[in-house]
Structure 1
Amino acid sequence: MRRPSPVYLLIILAASLLFSACSRQDIYQTAIDFERSSAGLEAASVAVGNLDIAYLRNQEMSAGDTIVMIHGFGANKDNWTRLAGHLTDDFNVYAIDLPGHGDSSKPLDIGYRLEDQAGYVAKILEALSVEDAHIMGNSMGGAITALYAANYPGKVKSAVLFDPAGILEYESELVDLVMEGDNPLIPKKPGDFERLMEFALEKEPFVPWPIMGVMEERAIANRDINEVIFAAIRDAGFESDFRNAITRIQAPVLIIWGKEDRVINYRNGEVFAAAIPNARLELMDGIGHAPMVEAPAESAELFRTFIGQPVE
């Protein structure tokens, strides 16, 4: 599927500014809706117990396999639109907002350990009647994907882990900063979101100024829930259990890691690949913590090649 160029996006934003009394929120929503539609996606939601879960799905269903996409810490379902645009012609895509993220419910009093979140994914996919899928996850979502694949082997055709969390044998810049009491992943004040983008991404995508401003406001508004989630993961003390769990994965696993990742050291990819049966590691030069955002076409090609589908 052809991806929209920044020029077209600027035309839409300019039209919104010139011909209507749009607020920044209106402009943001127009741009997000355009990105989703151009990727062949639409927004939907589903009730899972007491939680309202937001997600993106194909506008038109495909005859192909299903792909489930799980974002990272502090992120949301729209982190996947650029990659999805290269896949929705041939696959049915579900990009979900995990509890505590995006447009999903954000209760402060439920468990947010990785094991808890893998359980939420299982309930969400059950509610969506997704029985058999390729699962992709980035960062925290990569660790959740690995645990889901380990715990529900019959439901996973393949797993793709983009710079996954869960193993920190090799430390990174983020670990040093957090130890000093400075966490760039949790914006607290104006300017912090731009710092987050620069820290996490080596190859930043084009984002117009009104969009960046709204994204920052939303990230700052989510500070409390983000601190709860980060603490739940940090304090779980689970790494040995996680390493044991991923040895049970039966599905083929593709690990994609940006070599310029400052959040999680790319050398941890070798540890993942050694622990998971049938795993393949692909390193991407000049890419940071989110290859599916920074290099969506290349990421889609790696996935298609991995599962044996001809590359377009």
Structure 2
Amino acid sequence: MDLDVMNMFVIAGGTLAIPLLAFVASFLLWPAALIKVYSWYWRRALGMQVDHSEYEGYRFGYSHRGKPGNRPSILLLHGFSAQKDMWLSVVKFLPKNVHIICVDMPGHGETTRTSAVDYSIEGQVKRIHQFVESIDLNKKPFHLVGTSMGGNVAGVYAASFPADLCSVTLICPAGLKYPTESAFVKRLIELEKTQDTQSIPLIPSTPEEMGEMLKLCSFVRFKIPQQILQGLVDVRIPHNDFYREVFMEIVGEASRHSLNENMHLISTPLQVIWGKHDQVVDVSGASVLAEALPGCQVDLLDNCGHSVVMERPRKSAQLIMDFIIAQQNAGCASGKKLS
């Protein structure tokens, strides 16, 4: 073989090997960094831009795509110890012509971390309203979506600021009095008796605990390599004291049943989505909302746990958009009747 041709193959092979070796090294040595790169890649691929806004010195981190149009803008509120990127799997299936905003909840992600007063459900509702005002989102009624802790916040927001919203979706919301206790709640009762705040299942500090948390939150059993579990833990450990502070606040007396105490004030069209096999907050909560608000739409998902957003992203996006369109059509029909 000609020496120049051989050199070309060697150079080409080396060039291809560099990113491959970098990936393998990251996977084995720096899985946390790989997870961050993965999120960055998907944000970019989905056209989501990261931005920041301020309200009287308080800083919010958020990502967004598109501009306000014929359909209502959609604001997505994540759950406890997550951040805005958790919605990427759902954003993938939402129409590109719909204005989407994913905000980091108080103290999470790139949003300012202050004190416990902001971490109660009432405090989080206040901060989210400030965020909405800081980007002028409520110039036109928007659709609000919240899951778990974010579902609690979204429900209380709907009760507190109905003029801001055209409709709301609650996905496995916390903050209710559930007729049936979940496996997680039973575990919390045990921990409460012993006053053990270091063994909260949603605040893992080892790969094994991370694996157990994923089993608790998901009906689907994902096969996750040990290195990725380690990476997920490495990302969370620096924030575990903060997560513990937030957790104690949202399960405290003032916030534990916030949604239950405010649901009778919700006048906005409401959709409830719940995994039938939720082990964190029991699916019986859906009947509590349905009985209190007879006009709400309830969608229960088979073979799905608490992490509806991760387990059934396509279905979640479809249900949300179908609900928004149905409400718009109902509004148009009502308007025609009135005229």
Q: CA RMSD in A?
A: 2.4
Aligned pair count? 296
Unpaired segments ≥5 residues, structure 2: 1-16, 192-198, 328-339
Q: Which residue does 2:233 correspond to in 1?
A: 216
What runs of 5+ residues in structure 1 fail to find an aligned partner? Answer: 1-13
> Structure 1 residue 19: deviation in Å?
5.2
Deviations 1:119-165 (A, max 9, x none): 11100111111012100000010010000011110111111110000
- For residues 15 and 136 of structure 1, the distance between their equivalents in structure 2, rounded to whole angstroms, comes to 42
**Does residue 1:87 correspond to 2:111, yes or no?**
no
CA 82–238 in structure 1, closer or farther in 2 if over 3 Å, else same: closer
**Contact 1:157–1:251 (CA under 8 A) maintained in structure 2:** yes
* Aligned with 1:142 (options 131, 151, 162): 151
Once the two structures are superposed, the pairs formed by residues 32-47 of structure 1 within 5 Å of their partners are 32-47=39-54
For residue 171 of structure 1, what is the aligned residue in structure 2? Answer: 181
| Alpha-carbon contact 1:262-1:288 (below 8 Å) kept | yes
Residues 54-89 of structure 1 show CA distances to partners (whole Å, capped at 9, x for unaligned) of 11111x436342100001111111111111111141
Structure with more of its chain in helix, by fraction: 2
Q: Decide which of 132, 139, 142 is 1:133's aligned counterpart.
A: 142
Secondary structure of 1:56's aligned partner: strand
Q: Distance in 1 between matches of 2:256 and 2:236?
A: 28
Q: Is 1:57 aligned to residue 60 of structure 2? A: no
Q: Which amino acid aligns with 2:146?
A: G
Q: TM-score, normalised by structure 2?
A: 0.80
Change in Cα spacing, 1:48 to 1:206, as seen in structure 2 (3 Å) is: farther
- Secondary structure at the aligned position of 2:167 is classed as strand
Q: Distance in 2 between matches of 1:261 and 1:26?
A: 31
Q: C-alpha displacement at 1:184, in angstroms? A: 0.7
Note the 1:250-265 alignment, pairs <5 A.
Answer: 250-265=267-282
Counterpart for residue 5 of structure 1 = none
Cα distance, 1:196–1:15 mapped onto 2, change above 3 Å = farther
Contact 1:40 1:85 (C-alpha < 8 Å) held by counterparts: no
Q: Identity of paired residues, percent?
A: 26
Paired amino acid for 2:67 = M
Distance verdict in 2 for CA 1:304–1:196, change over 3 Å: same
Q: What TM-score do the two structures reach when normalised by structure 1? A: 0.86
Is contact 1:39–1:82 with CA below 8 Å preserved after alignment? Answer: no
Find the counterpart in structure 1 of residue 169 from structure 2.
160
Choose 207-216 or 161-170, whichever is displaced more. 207-216
8 A Cα contact 1:249 1:277, kept in partner: no
Q: Where in structure 2 are the equivalents of 1:1-312 lying within 5 Å? A: 16-18=19-21, 23-58=30-65, 60-61=66-67, 63=69, 64-131=71-138, 132-169=141-178, 170-181=180-191, 182-203=199-220, 211-238=228-255, 242-276=259-293, 278-308=295-325
